[in-house]
Amino acid sequence: MKNKIAKIIYDTYRGNDYIPTEFAKMDKTTREDAIRKKIFDMLGLQEFEKTSFRRAFRAHKAEVFNVIEELADQIMVDGTYQKNAFFNQFVEIKNLALGDKNEFYAEGANRLEVAKFSGNHFDLKRRRIDVGQVFAVDTDYYGIKVYEEFERIMSGRADFAKLISYIVDAVNLKLADIVYATFNTALGNLPAEFQAVGTYNQDAILEVLQHVQASNKAKPVIVGTSIALAKLQDKSNLSMSNNMADERNQNGYLQVWNGYACMEIAQGQKLGSFDFTMDNDKLYVLIGGDKLVKMVLEGDTQVKETADGTTNADRTTEYTLEFKAGCSIAYSNMIGYIEIA
């Protein structure tokens, strides 16, 4: 990070052992006060007073935005969304700020057939090998309003770690929403043989699993929330050993069901509501290591003024942190879908 204040704020949030020398021996409260003092110096102020702060903020907002933008850029690089098991297994991420290119490769679908013929000639139908293709993912703007929280921080009612945690939470939730929504679109065009939807039918579910396995020549994984995995296993009336019962108590589900590995997707809540991000009735049959969701982060965040202090009825001034991201689906392996009514 180039901006020194941004780096100190971020290191403080992360709890890093290494903090630049002048902050090294300070406790967290003292460090927060020292950071606040540096930003006051940047604004040309001695202390917080609402009217003078707003005026100084308008005059020096570019410097403040530089700090927030660098913090957000670092969050996009280190984002905890990448530690999510689903992201690790099934999402390929390119961050243009790290020098990545907005380029993904989709493997061609090649399935050769051996033909029977009478011999004494080479008159066979030939097939061209599909070498796949490179494609780019379109990106869109997403935003987080940050100003009011920043004012609370500068007045001492909140600390910088809170500012970072709010941005982290917002970015993680939004990126997860984008990924899961994109992932669900992949289910719309599946052949009927790769879907088991409706009343629980173990034979139909096992057939989906076998179709995916036969198509890919590899054993698939059953992926879903812990509740969805538990529903699948509860209805199958498995006879459980003591070890299986212990595993179920510890995890909420068995890690292997009828010979197929089960993997939990962490559940979340949609931003601004108590609705779950993932459906607790849906399960996905996927090949491990096939990162079918392709995500691009442009990595160049910017803070933009979205009101001038007279537009809003309450005369507040708003600032929005914007970043660009995009998601697409590209899979060479067949996938399956299970929905338990």
What pLDDT is attached to residue 207? 96
Whether the predicted pLDDT of 325 surpasses 60: yes
In the prediction, which pLDDT does 116 show? 44
pLDDT at 212 over 90: yes
**pLDDT given at position 220:** 93
β-pair partners for 276 = 269
311: β partners: none
- Minimum mean pLDDT range among 148-162, 214-228, 286-300, 310-324: 310-324
Q: What domains sit in the chain, N to C, each tagged with a CATH number?
A: 91-341 (3.90.1690)
- Please determine, for residue 228, whether its predicted confidence score (pLDDT) is greater than 50: yes
Q: What is the pLDDT of residues 231-283, one digit of tens each?
A: 998 877 777 788 888 888 888 888 999 999 998 887 877 766 788 877 899 99
Would you state the pLDDT for residue 122? 45
All residues at 6 or more sequence positions from 330 whose CB lies less than 8 Å from its CB, including other chains: 104, 106, 135, 292, 294
Lowest mean pLDDT among 21-25, 37-41, 59-63, 129-133: 129-133
Q: Could you tell me which residues come within 8 angstroms of residue 302 by beta carbon, excluding any fewer than 6 positions away?
A: 65, 69, 321, 322, 323
Q: Is the pLDDT score of 10 beyond 50?
A: yes
Write down the pLDDT at residue 310.
53
List the one residue out of 335, 340, 339, 341 whose CA is nearest residue 194.
335
- Residue 214 confidence (pLDDT): 93
**310 CB burial (10 A radius; 0-12, 13-18, 19+):** exposed
Of 72-81, 115-124, 139-148, 189-198, which one has max mean pLDDT? 189-198
Which residues are CB-contacts of 237 (< 8 A; sequence separation ≥ 6)? Answer: none
Helices 4-14 and 160-185 pack at an angle, to 10 degrees, of: 80
> Quick one: how far is CA 96 from the chain centroid?
16
321: left (phi over 0), alpha (psi -120 to 50) or beta: beta
> How much is the average pLDDT of 18-35?
77
pLDDT(16) > 70 = no
